[in-house]
Structure 1
Amino acid sequence: MDLVRHLRYFVVVAEELHFGNAAIRLGMAQPPLSQRIKRLEEELGVRLFDRSARQVRLTEEGRLLLGEAREIVARVERLRELARQGQGTVLRVGVPPDLAATVLAALVAAFRESSPDVRLAPAEIWTADQVSALAEGAIDVGLVRHPVTAPGLRYGQMLVQPQGVLLAEADPLTDVGEVHLADLAGRELLVPPKEGEPGWHAEVLAECRSHGFVPAQVHEGAGLGLVLAGAAVAFGPKVEQPGLAWRPLLGSPIASRVSTAWRAVTAAGTEYAAVAVSTLKESAGMSDEGAVPVRRVSRRPGMLA
């Protein structure tokens, strides 16, 4: 657990005494904020707030902790500021943990070429945590996966990446040209964590259900070990990896939509956003939103090719 980040959440909720208002101030949804306060309480072994339908109040333990928490958060932010001053110009960016290493390397190289005087400092964090990090000033620019709702954020150009299905190379569906989602019936599914990618998580599962695929079990994570073992399937762009096979989905029903995101406009951030668009198009096969034609699924669900 990132204790300093959770203490910052505590301080904001303590100042607002309203989870909804605190969530807006932090630029995040209310349920994840409530979960993180609960996790902090579990970590500390005390109850920090008395909650009722009408009001939120600090407990005696919460009141005693508040001053110390404010001081810790302020000191850490001061340390970060001093570190940034000693490093020269640094652009702190968030990227999804499941972004391919080759794509991240291309992004860093392209930005270094376009802005040699600015050092790029990428952090691999999921969309929900990027939203919080942007609100806290822990990162300058994010690369987020939509749908995402965050008051106060501004977004760059939307890019779309159709997803195929990743299978173990011994899976019978590797002999199929295009896979219908219903063909995956009975299989387990690996998706990014719901807490980190709530919008994408809900969208993928809804799309699966609407096309006749209800996973036997849903696993959360970024690694593909379960897929390699033949224990689950996953959705993603085409990859070349021993033991894995990739097949397109009939009708391209699942597509990842990403964009840069920021709160404050800077020259370095604007340049990074432009570099990200060109790099993601060239290295990750992404396209402008609306440029990918949607094909209707005409065959009967569950019928193999």
Structure 2
Amino acid sequence: MDLIRHLECFVAVAEESHFGRAAERLGMAQPPLSQRIQRLERELGVRLFERTSRQVTITKAGTLLLDEARTLLDRSESLLATARRIRDGESGLLRAALPPDLSGDTVAAILAAFRERHAGVELELHELTTAQQLDLFGARGLDVGLIHHPCEVAGLELGPVLRREVGVLISRDAPAAALDEVPLGSLDGYELILFPRAGAPALHDQVLTTCARHGFSPVAVRHGQGASFVRGLILSSRAVAFGPRDAWDAREAREADRGVVWRPLAAAPLTWQYSVAWPAGRSDAAVGAFTEAATRALLDTAGAAPEAPSRPLHLRPAAEFWL
């Protein structure tokens, strides 16, 4: 008996609650599907479904076995994916990505930890925005990456969600720079320097929505990410930017950055959320090693903390505010 194929039939009928729809989903006729379910029931020694002329209902035994069946199917897909990579000569390569906002210390820590955990795999590391990573996941051009939330995570598996506190970067001479904590509303009248929307559209819109809710409506939104470029805009115009403290502390120590300071935002209304992501069914040892390395590096070098599990990650139906 082809166990995997029979389990695919079982899961399809369980999810569709209808033999006809399950057969259409599997691309097969209904009689062979019914025969496969009957044979699986004989092999397992339990009844999986109660059938009537009008409906199909999964039994208690079927319900207890359904998660196991899904797990076996996921593992079989992972095995086949590994076999394909071996066949294509890619068994020793992991294509990974990190977002542009990580410090050099964090990137170095990820690389060191990965080599320690999985020295036999070559790591092909790229600097990519969340949107670029999602596109490559869809095209099967990326094995694993560190993404910003919120974003579309359908078809992906996720590692632990971490958050980094976001503060404001502001000219040392600005009145708000004298505060221990800066209310977002006190920044009204400033321009805002923000990462380009194309890189993480949902996060971009969420930042502007949060600003609007807290009384900060930027005079203009300028797009930029490079440290020198952002610093120049802050010093030459009435502008502010947002960023994690750890990423700024290293730069502020240099003489050239004395004119710009980082201050926490009152009540911490903004945080960056991250997690390692990979295509469903691709969770092998190399992906696990990268997930552990990136998670540990963010905790140890980037001031990250575990996110409360009750916080939702899904996208809202539409952005409430964007510019």
Distance 2:194 2:233 in 1: 16
SS in 2 for 1:120: strand
Q: Report what 2:8 is aligned to.
A: none
Do the aligned residues in 2 keep the contact of 1:134 with 1:142 (CA within 8 Å)? Answer: no
Q: Report what 1:261 is aligned to.
A: 277
SS in 1 for 2:169: strand
Q: Report what 1:137 is aligned to.
A: 140
Do the aligned residues in 2 keep the contact of 1:181 with 1:211 (CA within 8 Å)? Answer: yes
Distance 1:181 1:150 in 2: 30
User: Which residue, 95, 113, 117 being the options, matches 2:116?
Assistant: 113
Distance 2:169 2:89 in 1: 44
User: Which residue, 233, 240, 257 being the options, matches 1:233?
Assistant: 240
Per-residue CA distance 1:261-297 (angstroms, 9 max, x = gap): 1112221001111121111100101111129xxxxxx
Distance 1:151 1:211 in 2: 31
Do the aligned residues in 2 keep the contact of 1:92 with 1:122 (CA within 8 Å)? Answer: yes
Distance 2:94 2:231 in 1: 35
Shift of 1:136: 1.2
Shift of 1:169: 3.0
Q: Report what 2:128 is aligned to.
A: 125
- 2:131 is aligned with what amino acid? A
Do the aligned residues in 2 keep the contact of 1:165 with 1:246 (CA within 8 Å)? Answer: yes
- 2:230 is aligned with what amino acid? L
Do structure 1's residue 221 and structure 2's residue 228 form an aligned pair? no
SS in 1 for 2:89: helix
SS in 1 for 2:283: coil
Say which one has the larger Rg: 2
Distance 1:227 1:187 in 2: 15
Distance 2:99 2:187 in 1: 26
Q: Report what 1:147 is aligned to.
A: 150
Q: Report what 1:279 is aligned to.
A: 297
Q: Report what 1:246 is aligned to.
A: 262
Do the aligned residues in 2 keep the contact of 1:227 with 1:233 (CA within 8 Å)? Answer: no
Shift of 1:226: 3.4
Distance 2:190 2:270 in 1: 17
Distance 1:221 1:92 in 2: 27
User: Cα RMSD over matched residues?
Assistant: 2.3
SS in 2 for 1:85: coil
| Map 1:130-209 → 2, pairs under 5 A | 130-209=133-212
User: Which residue, 67, 76, 89 being the options, matches 1:85?
Assistant: 89
SS in 1 for 2:114: helix
Shift of 1:227: 3.3
Shift of 1:173: 2.1
Distance 1:143 1:97 in 2: 10
- The TM-score with structure 1 as length reference comes to 0.65
- 1:164 is aligned with what amino acid? G
Report sequence identity in percent: 36
Shift of 1:167: 1.6
- 2:240 is aligned with what amino acid? V
Do the aligned residues in 1 keep the contact of 2:230 with 2:241 (CA within 8 Å)? Answer: no
Structure 1 runs of 4+ off > 4 angstroms?
none
- The TM-score with structure 2 as length reference comes to 0.61
Q: Report what 2:308 is aligned to.
A: 290
SS in 2 for 1:130: helix
- 2:295 is aligned with what amino acid? V
SS in 2 for 1:132: helix
